[in-house]
Amino acid sequence: MEDLEGENKRVVVIGGGVAGSLVAKTLQNFAHVVLIDSKEYFEITWASLRSMVEPSFAERSVINHAEYLPNTHVIVSTAIDITDNEVLTAQGCITAYDYLVVATGHKDTGALTKTEKLREYQAEHARIKSANSILIVGGGPTGVELAGEIAVDFPEKRVTLVHRGSRLLEFVGHRASRKALYWLTSRKVEVILGQSVDITTASDGVYLTSGGETITADCHFKCTGKPMGSSWLKETILENSLDSHGRLMVDANLRVKGHKNVFGIGDITDVPETKQGYLAERHALVVAKNLKLLIMGGQESGMAIYRPAPPMAIVSLGRRDAVAQIFCITISGRIPGMVKSKDLFVGKTRKQLGLKSNLG
């Protein structure tokens, strides 16, 4: 333990995603930390599309919480209520807190254990391998990266990507969208913009778009985003701290508005910036610093301030290329690809959690 005073304070972190896992890891030798997550592992989300074409990739990017949190009490259950000093989980576990960090970015509805998650990737890989034609619904970063992975690893497959918006990657600038579109179409991915597909009405591999087009595909992948993990907060003491979009309103110190001992981090917050993992990590480090200060009895006025970041993104396109937007500059091809696309920051993220970048 770095400090024995902090050990008596109980910090409860709800959500073991990008932000929650890092704040727990940073504080675990400083205070009594409890992590409540609905699954037993942390997943490096930006490696998930590679794991669909190469399932063994997930062995490094799906990490049991126990591996990097030896000094944290991990509770695998879904939090369902928060009072002024306790958190209640779906399994009836009541955990007291002095400080609370809410980091429930997105709801995970899939696998609860690492073994199940690895099996899911093997099943997805088998679906891709056995299909001649694949439909991807959604042209945000997830859909574009998946199309890129399949186009590079399985160039013989016919891939169709349908996107409701008028351009791919709407969260970045028009140039980046055009470069991603050019890259995909030059690898024979058919991109249909301005239309949607209702997956539920598909029959016998025939899908109808909102524009009346017919697409035949042996399988499909829905890449339209996971639901936000904040609806449950409406039944808690934080109900009045949610904005009209269901985001948790936080102040400059990332403290939930109206609650002195509750912090909010990651995608769930109303911080005015794009919702990205590297920013969720920054939130986590600011809150860890602020909690250390408060636990040590420091002045609130000394807390670190979080400044929203300008837009920056790297979207990988297969194993070697990427398109990047850094402020107003857009670059595509091998140079941004060298930064992200080979290892997808898996080694770096593992090191940040105190693990070896490679297994074994």
Ligand X SMILES: Cc1cc2nc3c(=O)[nH]c(=O)nc-3n(C[C@H](O)[C@H](O)[C@H](O)COP(=O)(O)OP(=O)(O)OC[C@H]3O[C@@H](n4cnc5c(N)ncnc54)[C@H](O)[C@@H]3O)c2cc1C
Q: C-beta of 275: minimal distance to ligand X in Å?
A: 5
Judged by CB under 6 A, the residue of 193, 278, 347, 352 near ligand X is 278
Question: Within positions 212 to 231, which residues make up the interface with ligand X, using CB under 6 A?
Answer: 229
Q: Which residue is nearest to ligand X (CB)?
A: 17
**Distant-in-sequence, close-in-space partners of 138: CB < 8 Å, separation ≥ 6:** 161, 162, 163, 164, 222, 223, 224, 225
CB 334 → ligand X: shortest distance, Å?
A: 18
Identified binder of ligand X from the candidate list 120, 124, 149, 267, rule CB under 6 A: 267
d(C-alpha 183, C-alpha 204), whole Å:
30
Q: Which is nearer to ligand X, 21 or 253 (CB)?
A: 21
Describe the crossing of helices 18-27 and 277-295 by its angle, rounded to 10 degrees: 30
**Under the criterion CB under 6 A, does residue 63 sit at the interface with ligand X?**
no
Cα distance between residue 11 and residue 7, in whole Å: 10
Query: By C-alpha distance, which of 337, 346, 335, 343 is closest to 316?
Result: 337
Q: Which is nearer to ligand X, 37 or 120 (CB)?
A: 37
- 3-state percent helix, strand, coil for the chain, nearest multiple of 5: 35, 25, 40
Q: Which stretch binds ligand X (CB under 6 A): 62-70, 101-109, 170-178, 194-202?
A: 101-109
Burial of 312 (0-12, 13-18, 19+ CB in 10 A): middle
Instruction: Scan residues 126-185 and list those touching ligand X (CB under 6 A).
Output: 141-142
Q: Considering beta carbons, is residue 192 or 254 the nearer one to ligand X? A: 254
Of 14-22, 110-118, 200-208, 352-360, which segment contacts ligand X by CB under 6 A?
A: 14-22
Nearest CB to ligand X, comparing residues 79 and 172: 79
| In 198-320, beta strands by DSSP E | 206-208, 214-216, 219-222, 262-264, 312-317
Contact residues for ligand X (CB under 6 A)?
Answer: 14-20, 36-39, 45-46, 48-49, 78-79, 103-108, 141-142, 229, 232, 266-268, 275-278, 280
